[in-house]
C-alpha cells in the first residue's frame, strides 16, 4: 500500500511539473514555444506582425492530450505556428475568464486572434493535423473574422424581468429538450444538467408528473456515470446514451451530482439517491481533499495521456492501483471550492449528516485564510496574475449564504455580504456614471487584450444569489443588484443558444416570487430548537429562507416579521400574506408548509 501511495505521488509530480513548464512558456515535446495568455503576447504580435493562437485546454481532458500528441507534435504544424503565430496555452481551470468566454468550443478550444484582440477563428475540440494545417494557412491568407455568431450589441431588457412571451418560449424549450426515453437532454452528450434537473424537481414537487418522470429517469440513468469502484462521477457519456463515458472527474460535475441527488433525496426520500450522492462525497474525501480540508480541481481521464482508459476503469481497485492512479490536479481554486461547499451544504440539508457539514466548514475556512482579498473578494489560485475573476467571489458568496441557511451562524451571512460588496465594486461596467446590465466575468481593465465579457450562467447565478441575500437581509440594494444582472439575463439576444436555457427560468421564478420562509425562535443550545431547525432544513425547497433567531444574538438580520415571546422553542412558517401559529413539533413542519404552499407559487 505504501508503495502504491509513493507511486501515485511520483506520477502526480511528473505530470504537474510538465504542466507547469508548458504554462510558463518553455518548449514542450511538440517543439512549440508556448506562451501564457496575456497582453504582452498581443504587444509582441503587433511588433512582429503576427497572429496569435490560443490553445485553451484542460489538464484532465483526453482529447486535449490527443491533440498535443498528434497535432501539435506534427513538425509542419510547429513550423507554421513558429513562422506566423504567437502560440499561447492556458489551462481553462486556471483561467475562469477564458473558460466562461469559450465554454461552447472546448475542450480543447482553439482561438485565433489578430494583434488587436479580434477573434478570427473559434474552433471546437480535437482537430487532426491535416485539417489544422489548412486552417492555419487559411487564416494567414485571409485574416478576417469568420465567426458563426458575429458580435453584436442588443438593447438590454430594462425592466429586469422576463417578458411573458419569452418566458413561454423558454418553458417550451425546456420541455422540448428533455429526452423522455433515455433521460438527459436531447444532445449527443448525457449528464446531469444542474439547472434542468433543479427546475424539473421543483415542478415535480408542485405536481408535474412529466417532470417527475424525467427527473427520475435521468437520475437513474446517470448512475451509470458513477464510478462503482472509487466513487465520483465521470463528466459525461457520448453517442446519445449513457454507456460511453469520458472518464475525467472534474469538481463541477461532482458538485452538481451531490447537490441534485441531495435535492432528490429531500423530495422523495428514496435511499438510492442518498447512496448516489454519498458515492460522490466519499470520492471527494478519498481522492480530492487536501490534508488541510480544501478540495482539489480534477482527476485526469487517462492513466497515460492520450490513451483511452475504458479498460483501466473496468478494473477493480487493486488492479487499478497496480497500474497507477490517473493524475490529480492539486490546484486549489476558490471557484471549485465554492461549488463543492455549496453542494455539501445541500447534501447536509437532505441528510443531517454532520461530517458532510464539517467538510464544508473546513473548506470554507481554508479558502478564507488562504484565498481572501481585501474588500471581501477571493483570488482564484495561489498565484493569480490575471484575476480577480467573478467566478471565484460569486462561488464563495453562494457558499457562504448556503452555510448561513444551513447553520444559522451569522458569521457566514457577514461573509456573504462582504463578497456581495466586492462583486458590485469590481465587476460592474458603467457608462456615463450608470451601471450597465449584467456583471463582467473579470475585472474590467484597459490593459486586457479582449473586450469585457458577460457570462450568462454567471449572471443567472448572480441574480439568484443577490435576490436571496436581499430576503435574508432586507436590503433593497441587493434586490437592485439582482435586477441589474437580470436585465442581461432577460435579454433574449444574449441567450446561450444551447438546447435549453432553463437557468433563466430559475432566476425568474425566484426574482418574481417569495422564498419558503421558516424561522426557528429559540436558543441555539436548546435541543428542541435544533430539532425544529433540522426539520426545516430537510424540507425540499431549493428556494428557501431558513433562519434561527436566538434572541441573545440581537435583532434578526431582516426583522420583517414580528414573532411573539414564547415559553419554549417554536417554528413559524411565513409568506408575504400570512404566518402560521407556532409549531412545537418537528414532524408538524412539513404538513404546515404544505398548507401555505399555494402562497409561494
Q: Once rounded to an integer, what is the mean pLDDT over residues 485-491? A: 95
Give the Cα separation of 428 and 215 in Å (integer): 36
C-alpha cell, 450: 479582449
Give the Cα separation of 405 and 203 in Å (integer): 23
Q: What is the mean pLDDT of the chain?
A: 90
pLDDT at 144: 87
Residue 220 pLDDT > 90, yes or no? yes
Question: Could you tell me if 335 and 389 are in contact, meaning their C-beta atoms sit under 8 angstroms apart?
Answer: yes
Radius of gyration (Cα) for the chain, nearest Å?
A: 25
pLDDT at 3: 39
Q: Which residue has the higher pLDDT, 44 or 17?
A: 44
Among 262-271, 398-407, 429-438, 520-529, the minimum mean pLDDT is found in 429-438
pLDDT digits (tens, 9 = 90+) for 106-164: 789 999 999 999 999 999 999 999 999 999 999 999 998 876 554 445 567 777 789 99
Q: How many CA atoms lie within 13 A of 486 on its CB side?
A: 26
Give the Cα separation of 600 and 431 in Å (integer): 37
Question: Could you tell me if 509 and 202 are in contact, meaning their C-beta atoms sit under 8 angstroms apart?
Answer: yes
Helix (H, G, I), strand (E, B) or coil at 18: helix
Within 10 Å of residue 479's Cβ, how many Cβ atoms?
Answer: 18
- Whether the link from the prior residue into 344 is cis, omega within 30° of 0, is no
Residue 21 pLDDT grade (very low, low, confident, very high; cuts 50, 70, 90):
very low
pLDDT digits (tens, 9 = 90+) for 456-479: 999 999 999 999 999 999 999 999
Give the Cα separation of 156 and 438 in Å (integer): 9
Fold of 2-141: Glutaredoxin (3.40.30)
Model pTM score: 0.90
pLDDT at 153: 54
Give the Cα separation of 406 and 342 in Å (integer): 10
Within 10 Å of residue 582's Cβ, how many Cβ atoms?
Answer: 15
Q: What are phi and psi of 577, to 5 degrees?
A: -115, -30
Question: Could you tell me if 510 and 468 are in contact, meaning their C-beta atoms sit under 8 angstroms apart?
Answer: yes
Distance set, CA 207 to CA 203, 215, 270, 501 (Å)? 7, 13, 18, 22
Residue 280 CB contacts under 8 Å (≥ 6 apart), including other chains: 226, 231, 232, 233, 254, 257, 258, 261
| End-to-end Cα separation, the chain, in angstroms | 55
Residue 338 pLDDT > 80, yes or no? yes
Highest CATH level, class, for 516-600: alpha beta
Q: What is the dihedral of CA 512, 400, 191, 181, to 10 degrees?
A: -40
- What are 531-537's contacts with CB under 8 Å, separation 24+? 531/586, 532/569, 532/570, 532/571, 532/583, 532/586, 532/589, 533/408, 534/352, 534/586, 535/571, 535/586, 535/587, 535/589, 535/590, 536/571, 536/589, 537/348, 537/349, 537/352, 537/405, 537/406
pLDDT at 269: 96
pLDDT digits (tens, 9 = 90+) for 262-303: 999 999 999 999 999 999 999 999 999 999 999 999 999 999
Residue 560 CB contacts under 8 Å (≥ 6 apart), including other chains: 474
- In the chain, residues under CATH classification 3.40.30.10 are 2-141
pLDDT digits (tens, 9 = 90+) for 566-596: 899 999 999 877 889 999 999 999 999 988 7
Amino acid at each position: 500500500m505504501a508503495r502504491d501511495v509513493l507511486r501515485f505521488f511520483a506520477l502526480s509530480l511528473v505530470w504537474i511539473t510538465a504542466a507547469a513548464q508548458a504554462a510558463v512558456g518553455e518548449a514542450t515535446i511538440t517543439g512549440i514555444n508556448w506562451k501564457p495568455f496575456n497582453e504582452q503576447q498581443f504587444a509582441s504580435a503587433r511588433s512582429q506582425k503576427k497572429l496569435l493562437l490560443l490553445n485553451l485546454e484542460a489538464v484532465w481532458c483526453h482529447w486535449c492530450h490527443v491533440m498535443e500528441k498528434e497535432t501539435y507534435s506534427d513538425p509542419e504544424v510547429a513550423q507554421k505556428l513558429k513562422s506566423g503565430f504567437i502560440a499561447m496555452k492556458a489551462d481553462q481551470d486556471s483561467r475562469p475568464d477564458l473558460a466562461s468566454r469559450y465554454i461552447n468550443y472546448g475542450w480543447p478550444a482553439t482561438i485565433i486572434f489578430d494583434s488587436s484582440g479580434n477573434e478570427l477563428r473559434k474552433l471546437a475540440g480535437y482537430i487532426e493535423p491535416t485539417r489544422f494545417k489548412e486552417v492555419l494557412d487559411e487564416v494567414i491568407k485571409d485574416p478576417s473574422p469568420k465567426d458563426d455568431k458575429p458580435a453584436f450589441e442588443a438593447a438590454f431588457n430594462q425592466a429586469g424581468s422576463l417578458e411573458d412571451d419569452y418566458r413561454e418560449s423558454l418553458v417550451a424549450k425546456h420541455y422540448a429538450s428533455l429526452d423522455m426515453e433515455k433521460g438527459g437532454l436531447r444532445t449527443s452528450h448525457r449528464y446531469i444538467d444542474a439547472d434542468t434537473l433543479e427546475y424539473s424537481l421543483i415542478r415535480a414537487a408542485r405536481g408535474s408528473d412529466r417532470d417527475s418522470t424525467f427527473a427520475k429517469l435521468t437520475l437513474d440513468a446517470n448512475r451509470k456515470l458513477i464510478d462503482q469502484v472509487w466513487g465520483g462521477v465521470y463528466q459525461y457519456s457520448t453517442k446519445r446514451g449513457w454507456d460511453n463515458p469520458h472518464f475525467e472527474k472534474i469538481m463541477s460535475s461532482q458538485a452538481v451530482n451531490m447537490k441534485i441527488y441531495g435535492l432528490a433525496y429531500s423530495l422523495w426520500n428514496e435511499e438510492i439517491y442518498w447512496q448516489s450522492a454519498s458515492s460522490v462525497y466519499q470520492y471527494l474525501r478519498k481522492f480530492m481533499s487536501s490534508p488541510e480540508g480544501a478540495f482539489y480541481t480534477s482527476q485526469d481521464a487517462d492513466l497515460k495521456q492520450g490513451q483511452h482508459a475504458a479498460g483501466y476503469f473496468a478494473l477493480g481497485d487493486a488492479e487499478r492501483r497496480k497500474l497507477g492512479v490517473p493524475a490529480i490536479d492539486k490546484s486549489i481554486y476558490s471557484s471549485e471550492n465554492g461549488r463543492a461547499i455549496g453542494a455539501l451544504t445541500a447534501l447536509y440539508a437532505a441528510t443531517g449528516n454532520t461530517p458532510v457539514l464539517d467538510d464544508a466548514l473546513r473548506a470554507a475556512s481554508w479558502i478564507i485564510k488562504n484565498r481572501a482579498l481585501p474588500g471581501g473578494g477571493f483570488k482564484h489560485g495561489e498565484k493569480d496574475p490575471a484575476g480577480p475573476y467573478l467566478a471565484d467571489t460569486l462561488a464563495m458568496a453562494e457558499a457562504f449564504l448556503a452555510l448561513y441557511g444551513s447553520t444559522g451562524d451569522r458569521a457566514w451571512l457577514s461573509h456573504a455580504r462582504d463578497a456581495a460588496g466586492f462583486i458590485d465594486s469590481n465587476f460592474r461596467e458603467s457608462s456615463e456614471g450608470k451601471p450597465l446590465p449584467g456583471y463582467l466575468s473579470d475585472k474590467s481593465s484597459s490593459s486586457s487584450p479582449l473586450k469585457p465579457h458577460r457570462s450568462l450562467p454567471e449572471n443567472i447565478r448572480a441574480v439568484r444569489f443577490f435576490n436571496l441575500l436581499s430576503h435574508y437581509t432586507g436590503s433593497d440594494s441587493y434586490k437592485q443588484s439582482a435586477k441589474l444582472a437580470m436585465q442581461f439575463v432577460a435579454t433574449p439576444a444574449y441567450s446561450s443558444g444551447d438546447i435549453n436555457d432553463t437557468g433563466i427560468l430559475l432566476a425568474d421564478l425566484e426574482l418574481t416570487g417569495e422564498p419558503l420562509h421558516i424561522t426557528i425562535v429559540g436558543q441555539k443550545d436548546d435541543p428542541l430548537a435544533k430539532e425544529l431547525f433540522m426539520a426545516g432544513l430537510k424540507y425540499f425547497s431549493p428556494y428557501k429562507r431558513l433562519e434561527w433567531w436566538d434572541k441573545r444574538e440581537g435583532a434578526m438580520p431582516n426583522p420583517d416579521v414580528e414573532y411573539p415571546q414564547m415559553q419554549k422553542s417554536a417554528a413559524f412558517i411565513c409568506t408575504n400574506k400570512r404566518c402560521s401559529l407556532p409549531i412545537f413539533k418537528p414532524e408538524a413542519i412539513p404538513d404546515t408548509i404544505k398548507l401555505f404552499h399555494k402562497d409561494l407559487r
